[in-house]
Amino acid sequence: MNVMEQFSLAGKVALVTGGSYGIGFAMAKAMGQAGAKIAFNCRNQEHLEQALRDYEQEGIEAKGYICDVTDEAAVIEMIQQIEQTLGTVDILVNNAGIIKRVPMVEMPTSDFRQVIDVDLVAPFIVSKAVLPGMMEKGHGKIINICSMMSELGRETVSAYAAAKGGLKMLTKNIASEYGQYNIQCNGIGPGYIATPQTAPLRQPQPDGSTHPFDQFIRAKTPANRWGDPDDLAGATVFLASDASNFVNGHMLYVDGGILAYIGKQP
């Protein structure tokens, strides 16, 4: 096999949770372009139908499922449907997630638990559901979408940082426990990506000036820009492909260099 063939995903079945828009859609599109058969989930019919139109426009054939990934019974049913229509899941991207930007002392415990449930417990549930099939086939790829908040703290994101830090360690533990079955589990840590989720942080101020947080992120990023969802395409295909067969338990930060940079001197 030559080096370029190692990156092919032809014939592989890839499930991307939360793959209806944003970075999930971009990663699924990249794997589809590399030859994978794409499955994704979302929470309602409207989003599903729009996503199917978006995939079709990109020339990607995809199967969509309405599923709450925090509901274990629903996840098991979705995996069974995928196996019946597409085949055993070869690649899982645990992308679905939420964030609540609230100071810790003001955050209801119920909101903290909701973020942990979606961002950490759900990846456990979905990984648990696909691992038996991967073990039986003797190969598999799990990619957990972590965050720079797996490494750093910041005001108002206590629940999100706790969940993503936990997801980083879940990644390492899956790698440790199931590497013997030729299953690789790695994480991608996106930097600040221009998506609908981060749009409020980039909106111009009433006077037309740049949002202070936008200025802050650009100043802290050597690339001097927000990431684009398509910036995650290469990392995703690499970690989903045979090119990464000896990469396990790794966190790949796609952040424009922000974690490596102390910032400019005032």
- Residues recognised as catalytic: 160
C-alpha 19 chain-centroid distance: 9
Burial 158-167 (b: 16+ CB within 10 A, else e): bbbbbbbbbb
The span from the CA of 71 to the CA of 2, in Å, is: 42
Q: If residue 37 lies in a helix (H) or strand (E), which one and from where to where?
A: strand 37-42
Q: Residue 121: phi, psi to the nearest 5?
A: -70, -40
The span from the CA of 254 to the CA of 260, in Å, is: 11
- The Cβ of residue 43 has, within 10 Å, a number of other Cβ atoms equal to 14
